[in-house]
Structure 1
Amino acid sequence: MVIAGLSWSTLSRVGFGWFVAMVIVIALGATVLSVVSWYNTGYQVVGRELRIHEGLLWRRTRAIPLERLQAVEVVRPLLAQLTGLAELRLEVVGGGKTEAPLAFLGVAEASALRRRLLSLAGPRTVSAPGPQLAAAPAAEPPVPPGRPLHAVDNRDLLISQLLTPQAFLLPFGVVFVAGQFLSEGSWSFVAVASTLTAMAGILLQPVRRVLDDWRFQLARDEDRLRIRNGLLETRVQTVPLHRVQTVGVTWPLLWRVKGWLRLRLEVAGYAAGEADQRNRPDRLLPVGDLATGEAIVAEVLPGVALSSLPLSPPPLRARWVNPLSREVLGAGLAEEVFVVRSGLLTRQLTIVPYARLQSVRVVQGPVQRLLGLATVHADTAGGAGAAAVDRDLAEAWALAAELSHRGHTARRTP
């Protein structure tokens, strides 16, 4: 509704004066609602439980057991940075979306509450019921605490986003649109504005990635990863390593010229249903070379080396199902992890620790049954897991049995 109210067509119909008035009314209404919501929201830490109180006419109290806590993130949008505030976001097991966002707290209070919640969420932490945590004046740390692992060069980040299909093909689109305007002689304000809006939409994803991953820093503090990133909206994320379900490695087509890759985490409880993917704080390395990727993966999954993972392709008859990507597909069992490779243009590698396996499935489609093939799915808690596509049927059953055995053994091993 808001987007429709602020569209170019509305501007052309109502005129500039009424358009500005609509923008002011919408902005004031949003501000008033935000202030009322903020005044009627509070929290309390009781034992190993976080309680959120909110609502003006209909009061609601949510109780979140901290043993379900997966990750805690401190987010500071641009206006929050100017006013010294921060938003605390929690990711819990089985959450359909980000749980209990506390917006807004003081920076010091948000950082202290994050540390308190992570401490109480630890498996060996015992705490008596206590009152609401009080804020203490302190400055926001300039970098994440702990042992620094890597800081992304902003120049590499910019170049990596220029090597995306959206940015790479945009000049050709500009030339085509300009040719259309010149040939038809149509230069109306609405036509030009609509074209510029469409081009801005094409560039939105790479621009967002640059803004989100600006000054990306990764550090390790004992058994936790600490990630800080963002330009207009800064984020400080804390992820316990024992919550990591999978590690994904991606080699985009245009990045292979420079030997770059991207790393992402999958953590149980991340809001897979979020409409805005930026609310899924799963970045591990926005851009980097193979040596950097190997070093970071070794920190998250000790003993795993990207360049020496055992991978075998599907049988030759799988080319009838995947004629172009059969040579790219691969799967293998390493000492500590299950590995799957896929993707023709954008190469992807998924690494699943055996201890994180929740279930193993063998699936056959009608074409696969004719060819004696099957796909083995290794499922993790609340995530996509990994799938070994188009394996020989006998191999698929043997692989599934071995995965079940290794998963059971790994979960029993302290």
Structure 2
Amino acid sequence: MVIDEPRRRLHPLSPLLRSAKALVVIVVALSWQTLRQVGLGWFALMVLVLLLGAIVMSVVSWYNTGYHVVGHELRVYEGLLWRRTRAIPLERLQSVEVVRPLLAQLTGLAELRLEVVGGGKTEAPLAYLSVADAAALRDRLLAIAGRPVAPVDSAAEVAGVAPVRVPGDGPLLLAVPNRDLVISQLLTPQALVLPIGVAFVVLQFGFDPSWSFIGVASTLTAIAGVLLQPVRRILSDWNFRLSRDDTALRLRFGLVETRSQTVPVDRVQGVTATWPLLWRAQGWLRLTLDVAGVAGQDAANGTETDRLLPVGTADVAERVAGSVLPGVLLSALAFQPPPERTRWFHPLARPKLGVALTDKIVATREGLLTRTVMMVPFARIQSVRVVQGPLQRLLGVATVYADTARGRSAALRDRDLAEAWWLAAELAERGRVARLAAPDRGRVVVPAPVLEPESAPLRPQPSA
């Protein structure tokens, strides 16, 4: 029996941390142009006034924000003039993440983020709680949602201290070397254009001494914007650790902002492997997760939230993917390309396209420069569609889409029409059998796949 707790407020330091974040936004919004027009003194005064306003708003928001658990719901209350109450059913809980930005680490605080079924964004971001409160609330929500909590010191794990584990706890599956992470981000187009950008600034300033400070600063800001993605990846994936217990994946990563994420394995809708062009000489690839209800990008800072392996060799990737999709081997997937006549659609990439079926998953391969392989378990297929465009009708081919609860689809592109209908029927049948064979452990209940259009005849797969 779950006992309701009294309504609680966030940590008293929450308004100060929110205001510090607002300070960065204020300075960026005013821009270099404003500094040049009004001068340093007025610029500082404008920043101070706006910052004081942000502090007042943050204090008012903190005073009117509260949360507590009622039965199988987490309820969050907020708003002064327009009161809003959000009730989040915990049986729809997909994953729980404890995030610690730099200022939160310095003050011993943490932010709790929830992902639920059908959510387009993170629900109930409780910012901020103490580390102990965040870890305790995370474990309590997972327990109410029917997710067994691993027997570890959760508060120590969130705080970055090595937790004390007991026998039976999931082993450490992966620890990505920071050296490999840095090198992988140096092998990106953004990093390769850095020397060109720096040379441009030096030459421009050397040949045109009258070039103003604002011009130099603006150009350097543009260069920093180009480098933002690889730098952000390094900071967000630093000290990446992956472990797994009987029911969930546990990820911990981050340098400036540390994250401790718990993802139930039975919520995973698929795994995608990606081979960037510049990584192939090193034999590296990355793995990402498709989790129902979890967006691939964090709207707050644009960082990826679906990582499984930031960078690794084929052997490491196969071991990690096998921990999520047991019995699946990346190297053993036998892809069949589309018919030869589809070379008009893909003159260069046709040999890289392909479809593979195993006894557990359907896999698709595509991409010429950046190659990707998407693997979807049959039990996660929600619906099956056969789509045929005007040009495809001329060539007698069609594309089959296997949709998942994540909203993404495995696209079996440009298959022979008879093969396409055979694949659609096969995916529908294998999905139905897989769902009947798998025990219901709180997964999303989805309807049986439906073929579209229903009146279209099914034909056997043509022989090779």
TM category (shorter chain) comes to over 0.9
Aligned 1:250-261 pairs, distance under 5 A: 250-261=274-285
| SS across alignment from 1:327 | helix
- Find 1:168's aligned residue among 188, 192, 196: 192
Q: List aligned pairs for 1:87-166, cutoff 5 A.
A: 87-122=111-146, 140=159, 142-143=161-162, 146-166=170-190
* Superposed CA offset, 1:20-73 (max 9, x none): 222233333333322332232221112211111112232221111111100000
Q: Does 1:262 align with 2:286?
A: yes
Could you tell me how far apart the structure 1 residues matched to 2:328 and 2:259 are? 28
* Structure 1 residues 399 and 68, CA gap change in structure 2 (3 angstroms): same
User: Aligned pair in 2 of structure 1 residues 304, 46: CA closer, same or farther (>3 Å)?
Assistant: same
Aligned-pair CA distance for 1:137: 11
Q: CA-atom RMSD, angstroms?
A: 2.3
Identify the match of residue 334 of structure 1 among 351, 358, 364.
358
Q: Which amino acid aligns with 2:83?
A: R
Instruction: Give the partner amino acid of 2:414.
Output: D
Aligned residue for 2:132, secondary structure, equals helix
Q: Secondary structure at the match of 1:15?
A: helix
What pairs with 1:5-404 in structure 2 (closer than 5 Å)? 5-122=29-146, 140=159, 142-143=161-162, 146-183=170-207, 186-271=210-295, 275-276=299-300, 278=302, 281-404=305-428
Aligned-pair CA distance for 1:124: 9.8
Indicate the residue corresponding to 1:128 in structure 2.
none
- The 10-residue stretch of structure 1 (15-24 or 314-323) with the greater mean CA deviation from structure 2: 15-24
Work out whether residues 148 and 219 of structure 1, in 8 Å CA contact, stay in contact via their aligned partners in 2: yes
In the other structure, the counterpart of 2:454 is: none
**Aligned-partner Cα distance in 2 for 1:51–1:279:** 27
Shift of 1:139: 8.0
- Report deviation, 1:394: 1.1
Distance across 1 between alignment mates of 2:343 and 2:301: 34
- Name the amino acid aligned to 2:395: L
Letter in 2 for 1:142: V
Q: Which residue is equivalent to 1:410?
A: 434
Using the alignment, how far apart are the partners of 1:299 and 1:372 within structure 2? 39
**Quick check: 1:86–1:110 contact (8 Å CA) kept in 2?**
yes
Query: Are the counterparts in 2 of residues 87 and 103 from structure 1 also a CA contact under 8 Å?
Result: yes
Name whichever of 93-102 and 145-154 sits farther off. Answer: 145-154
The verdict on how the C-alpha distance between 1:124 and 1:221 changes in structure 2, with shifts beyond 3 A counting, is closer
Q: How much does 1:350 deviate?
A: 0.4
Q: Distance in 2 between matches of 1:7 and 1:389?
A: 47
Q: Name the CA shift for 1:67/1:280 in 2 (closer, same or farther; >3 Å).
A: farther
Checking the alignment, whether the CA contact within 8 Å between 1:143 and 1:228 is kept in structure 2 is no
Q: Quick one: distance in 2 between partners of 1:138 and 1:250?
A: 30
2:228 & 2:36 partners in 1: Cα distance? 24
User: Is the 1:248–1:350 Cα contact (8 Å) retained in structure 2?
Assistant: yes
Name the SS of the counterpart of 1:362 in structure 2.
Answer: strand
- Structure 1 length-normalised TM: 0.92
Q: CA deviation at 1:170?
A: 1.7
The 3 A distance-change label for structure 1 pair 91 and 138 is closer
Q: Which has the higher contact order (CA 8 A, sep 6+)?
A: 1
Letter in 1 for 2:161: P
Contact 2:297 2:305 in 1 (8 A): no
Percent of aligned pairs with the same amino acid: 64
Residues 96 and 273 of structure 1 are in contact (CA less than 8 Å); yes or no, is this contact kept in structure 2? no
Shift of residue 136 of structure 1? 9.4
Cα shift readout 1:120-168 (whole Å, capped 9, x = no counterpart): 112799xxxxxxxxx9999835247632111111111111100010001
Contact 1:253 1:345 in 2 (8 A): yes
AA at the equivalent of 1:70 = Q
- Cα distance in 2, alignment partners of residues 303 and 139 from structure 1: 32
Query: In 2, distance between residues paired with 1:165 and 1:81?
Result: 32
- d(CA) in 2 for partners of 1:122 and 1:19? 53
Report the 3-state secondary structure (helix = DSSP H, G, I; strand = E; otherwise coil) of the residue aligned with 1:270: coil
CA contact (8 A) 1:143 1:217 kept: no
State the distance in 1 between where 2:412 and 2:200 align.
42
* Alpha-carbon shift at residue 374 of structure 1 (Å): 1.1
Q: Is the 8 A contact 2:356 2:363 kept in 1?
A: yes
Q: Supply the AA of the counterpart residue of 1:109.
A: D
Structure 2 CA distance, aligned partners of 1:318 and 1:376? 15
Tell me, in whole angstroms, the C-alpha distance in 2 between the residues paired with 1:265 and 1:273.
12
Name whichever of 312-321 and 265-274 sits farther off: 265-274
Counterpart amino acid of residue 140 in structure 1 = A
TM-score (norm: length of structure 2)? 0.83
Distance 2:107 2:345 in 1: 57
